Structure 1
Amino acid sequence: MGHDPEKTPTNTTAMTGTTLVGTDTDTGTTPAEDDALGPLPSEVRQRRKKKWYADADKDPRSAKERRRAREARLAEKIGSLLTRQRYLMQLCRVMMKCGAPTHRLEEYMQMSAFALRVHGQFLYIPGCMIISFDDPLTRTAEVKLVRIIQGCNLGRLGEVHNCYKNVLHGKLSAEEALPVLDDILTRQSKWRTPWMMVLIAGLISVAVGPWAFGARPIDMPIIFVLGLLMGFMQYILAPRSALYSNVMEVSIAMLVSFLARAFGSIRHNGEYLFCFPAMTQSAIALILPGYSVLCSSLELQSHQITAGSIRLVYTIIYSLFLGYGVTVGLTIYGLMDDHASEQTTCSAESQLIYGNTYIQHFVFVTIYVAFAGIVSQARLRQLPFMCTLGVSGYVANYFATTYLSSQMASIIGSFTIGLLANLYSRVWHGHAAAVIVPGMWTLVSSGLASSGSIVAGLQYAKAVKEGTANASANSMVESLLSLGVSMVQTALGITVGLFLSALVVYPGGKRQGGLFNL
């Protein structure tokens, strides 16, 4: 009654059929149910018992061809992994050679390894990076040591940053980026010859004298000659002799201080013709360790205790070496000349020749920053913004020194430079790490080291001449140690300013590529 025989087979098939599209013919369940419930334990046991040759009859290839295919796939995977590891080592080598921010170097390497899916751990110490590549499958590790002399090439640092970002964002593969890094590392500079660097050393000594040490125009020819002598010893003699390079800084400080006091002792109408403290400090300004102190304080602030401690101790000892060389040079000439100059600073009246204090400071700061960028191998198109940052930071530091302490002035000056550099990076997509370094050299008050050394050296030279050297030895040691403490305090103030500026522009940090900045 009411039964339609034509609809019965269709309904029966819909309810009992097991060959519908989308069902599993082995288990009678749909893939959605299979994914939700998972395989039965019996099926798992059957799969585990299945041997590698069970489907051999279904594969038309022979056993030899299948083995070759497996070996080819394995070789491809291993080759790809080795290429990515080689890229990471080369990236680390180029970053260290070009002067990337040392306190962020481990972060850059860790981000690159994560983007390339390479398990690695990185430990940086000055001049060396220890890399451990881990294999989670075999539970083994391979340790690599990347050791290279720390350099500073601000022009190529921008190219390294571009390559680093392109690999992070997937625009370049590790295999494609390797030739780019090789070219950056091995390319020869067309104009940076040793004799050209000697000339630039003389010019930068002249540029730093007026605003940092109160040098006058009459002192500039002598400063230029002493700067040439310093550049000759640093760029010509030191690379040719490994033994001399170990005592280069001390010998430069001894010779320059001796000659500077000799010229400074020349009298005209009863007055000293030249200002020997300004000549001494200006001539050795290029080898003072101010930037090294800044890097060590940045590393310590970033909780990199190993690298920061090593660099800080080295910098303090290096400053003492320079102070020792200055003291010896001044003492030797003091024994030779009974009427040697004992000036510690240049007279303020003699500096009125500039006509305006702002001309004496701000104009020569601009010239100094330009030459500092050339020494750091910056490109010509980077120099205008380097000069803008350097002058802005120095102006803020100059006026803050009038009302505040030197440490607070360093914070304000470094905050100004860091703020402008971070805005340059975020708004105009420039390379902040490259343009900020020369400006930092104007704030790192490296003159504190040489100024304290001159005061201590004159005291000791006078004591030696009077026969009371033993009594003044303790005061000389205290003076030399105080200059190291002053350098560290100034560097700490600059560090605080840089981190505050980064916090203002990047309050949440930069997660994709890390901050490429000091």
Structure 2
Amino acid sequence: MSPEPSDSDDRPHASHSSSELDDDSNPPSLHRSSAPSVMTVFLSPLRAMRDSGARLVARLGRPTDGGDALDASPHPEYDGVTDDIQLSNAICDGQTRPDSDHSELQKRLVSEARFLVRKLGVGGKHPEDSIVPDNRNVNGGVFSYLLQQQFSHHRDFSQASISTVASQAESSPSSTNNKKRRKQKWYDEDGDRSKGKRPMKQIRLTKHIAAILTRQRYIMLLCRAMMKYGAPTHRLEEYMRMTANVLEIQGQFLYLPGCMIVSFDDPFTRTAEVHMISVGQGLDLGRLAHTHNLYKNVVHDRISVEQAIGDLNQLMDRQSRYHTAWSLVFLSGLASVAVGPWAFNARPIDMPIIFILGCLLGFMQNVLAPASPVYSNVFEVTVAVLMSFLARAFGSIRVGGTSVFCFSALTQSSIALILPGFSVLCSSLELQSHQIVAGSIRLVYTIIYSLFLGYGTTVGITIYGLLDPDATTESSCPAASLSAYGNKYIQHFVFVAIYCAIAAVLNQARWKQLPVTVFLGVSGYAANYFSQALDGRLASTISAFVIGLLANLYSRLWHGHAAAAIVPGMFTLVSSGLATSGSIMSGLAYADAVKNNTVGHGSTSMAAVQRSLYGLGYSMVQTALGITVGLFFSALVVYPRGKQRSGLFNL
């Protein structure tokens, strides 16, 4: 007994009959001659080219389902209410076969529904000709449906109050017995269990309630997966509302950073069942695309809710592609090396030191921080202090009076992976989408996070300046040394492509996502590179518009997942905006003021203090605002009227 009925005729399907796709499948007409017509001769090569193109597209990995036209660094998962995944944990215990999860889920949900029916004593008082509504009509909640089946046989429950129906049921005396018999109440414990068998109406009622519980659990599990794998935060409420409308479940949703409050409403009885889903915001590009496929398949009625629950459980139980800490440490070092040349003018001689510093950052982020919750609270400050201290130490090494390593490139490249620019971008998108609560909370957090990084960088630079009287004060790399690349386009665009590929792999992207990811990242950076002559904020807007336009076209024409493919490209824009602002290097002036004991004795030193503390956060917000405007305009161009059935899966 499946709790989810298969009403495939109630919803539109995207499939077409073979007669619509191939004219040869039509029966021959009586007026058509046996010899091939002239039109058939001309259409045959075109039809063959179309079939060949379809086979080529299938080999290249184009998804068969429709795609859609983006979010935060991993944090430890919060401790909270996890009632939506307790059922899956009870089923998938490591001893049950994967193919039996479907039947186990049905048994547990039906058992829970039968328990509700038995405790409320509903289902045994109906006559045999009573009408049980179809399982699709579940706009009410479990409680209202129980009351409806207990009291109203042929009446519409939405037109009568509970008290009126209850009084009507109590005031119907029996005509055959002189002694007035007490009518069974809906809250009686025993019900009809004394008869020794469960009525057919109670079985059908149990099936209906199990369908409601199944859909509610699917909505909560889908919400947890989207939050965990980095779905666009400013569209999460929209995804949940559209899913609830398609499944005919009354629900309201309120998103806060790291938490979704779900309320399943019962408009007939004025009751609600509230759940809180608390998940640490993460980013997994591969599983994000898979989650979006399941979301669209359920919305368009391609798969059942039970099958989607089983697929989501398997997806969340599966290990990440690069789940070992040491592989993440190595990838962090490679990403730091790749971001150095195009963002901070790092030279080939600087790359070994940048790789060592990047691996050290990866070790502290993926090994030390998860092992100690206390250390994770000061992770950002300690990383900024240590990286700036070591970078200035290496930058102070001189041979013949000339610095061997570039101090600014070492410092900025080593902490580029923990910059909060993408989180600021998400807060800006939420505010632009009129989600004031979530956007304000995230914006305040990211600004404080930026102040922590700026404070740590300034402290590290200042400490080494106090220890070494000959510490370097160069805030930029020599331009003559950049000729080692041979061409400035090789220095920029080649390393941008390498960085986008490594950043995608670091965020668990699948291999077939890499070509589109690299293309979008290089296109966005090219627009940013050639528009820097205008203005930094305008350059961010133009580059974000280009990358957003290409991503939305990829979603609409190729049916791909733009939200997963666009994330590494956004990382390039954030790093470019930080490099042009030069806010990190403003800590050198403050370090010199501390060394010379001139802090607070002049307007120059005070300005240096302000730039060192507030410059990073200001540059992050400024860059994110420009990117936000460009992304919204790109979505407006490709989707001027939005989407009717499912939400836009883009930034």
TM-score (norm 2): 0.69
SS of corresponding position for 1:142? strand
Partner of 2:491: 360
Is 1:157 the counterpart of 2:291? The answer is no
C-alpha separation between the residues in 1 aligned to 2:498 and 2:575? 17
Partner of 2:548: 418
Partner of 1:300: 431
State the 1:391 CA deviation. 0.3
Change (3 A) 1:356 1:452: closer
Deviations 1:286-333 (A, max 9, x none): 001111111111111111111111111111110110011111111111
SS of corresponding position for 1:401? coil
Which of 626, 630, 634 is residue 501 of structure 1 equivalent to?
634
Which of 326, 330, 333 is residue 195 of structure 1 equivalent to?
326
Deviations 1:146-183 (A, max 9, x none): 00111101101111111101111112222221111111
- Do the aligned residues in 1 keep the contact of 2:538 with 2:626 (CA within 8 Å)? yes
Which of 76, 83, 105 is residue 236 of structure 2 equivalent to?
105
- Do the aligned residues in 1 keep the contact of 2:322 with 2:508 (CA within 8 Å)? no
State the 1:408 CA deviation. 1.1
C-alpha separation between the residues in 1 aligned to 2:390 and 2:611? 26
State the 1:451 CA deviation. 6.3
Partner of 2:186: none
Change (3 A) 1:356 1:190: closer
State the 1:62 CA deviation. 12
C-alpha separation between the residues in 1 aligned to 2:199 and 2:269? 23
- Do the aligned residues in 1 keep the contact of 2:358 with 2:414 (CA within 8 Å)? yes
C-alpha separation between the residues in 2 aligned to 1:516 and 1:400? 28
Gaps of 5+ in 1: 1-47, 56-60
Change (3 A) 1:69 1:264: same
Partner of 1:128: 259
Is 1:384 the counterpart of 2:515? The answer is yes
- Do the aligned residues in 2 keep the contact of 1:457 with 1:476 (CA within 8 Å)? yes
Partner of 2:643: 510
Partner of 1:286: 417
- AA partner of residue 422 (structure 1): N
- AA partner of residue 446 (structure 2): T
- AA partner of residue 339 (structure 1): D
SS of corresponding position for 1:430? coil
Partner of 1:448: 578
SS of corresponding position for 2:574? coil
Partner of 1:481: 614
- Do the aligned residues in 2 keep the contact of 1:296 with 1:308 (CA within 8 Å)? yes
State the 1:484 CA deviation. 2.0
Is 1:116 the counterpart of 2:247? The answer is yes
SS of corresponding position for 2:280? coil
Between Structure 1 and Structure 2, which shows a larger proportion of helix residues? Answer: 1
Which of 560, 581, 584 is residue 430 of structure 1 equivalent to?
560
Change (3 A) 1:500 1:53: farther
State the 1:64 CA deviation. 4.5
Partner of 2:13: none
- AA partner of residue 191 (structure 1): Y
Root-mean-square deviation (Å): 2.2
Deviations 1:63-104 (A, max 9, x none): 958973333233222221111111100000000111000010
- AA partner of residue 75 (structure 1): T
Structure 1 segments of 4+ aligned residues over 4 angstroms from their partners: 48-55, 61-67, 449-453
Equivalent runs, 1:120-269 vs 2, <5 Å: 120-269=251-400
Partner of 2:73: none
- Do the aligned residues in 1 keep the contact of 2:577 with 2:619 (CA within 8 Å)? no
State the 1:192 CA deviation. 2.9
Deviation larger for 170-179 or 477-486: 477-486
TM-score (norm 1): 0.86
- Do the aligned residues in 1 keep the contact of 2:265 with 2:272 (CA within 8 Å)? yes
Is 1:276 the counterpart of 2:407? The answer is yes
SS of corresponding position for 1:516? coil
Which of 445, 449, 452 is residue 321 of structure 1 equivalent to?
452
C-alpha separation between the residues in 1 aligned to 2:415 and 2:198? 68
Change (3 A) 1:196 1:447: farther
C-alpha separation between the residues in 2 aligned to 1:446 and 1:233? 25
- AA partner of residue 567 (structure 2): V
- AA partner of residue 643 (structure 2): K
Paired positions, count: 465
SS of corresponding position for 1:79? helix
C-alpha separation between the residues in 2 aligned to 1:164 and 1:205? 35
C-alpha separation between the residues in 2 aligned to 1:478 and 1:387? 34
Partner of 1:491: 624
Change (3 A) 1:447 1:205: farther
- AA partner of residue 411 (structure 1): T
- AA partner of residue 281 (structure 2): Q
Deviations 1:374-398 (A, max 9, x none): 1111001100110000001110111
Partner of 2:92: none
SS of corresponding position for 2:575? coil
Change (3 A) 1:342 1:123: same
- AA partner of residue 619 (structure 2): S
Partner of 2:526: 395
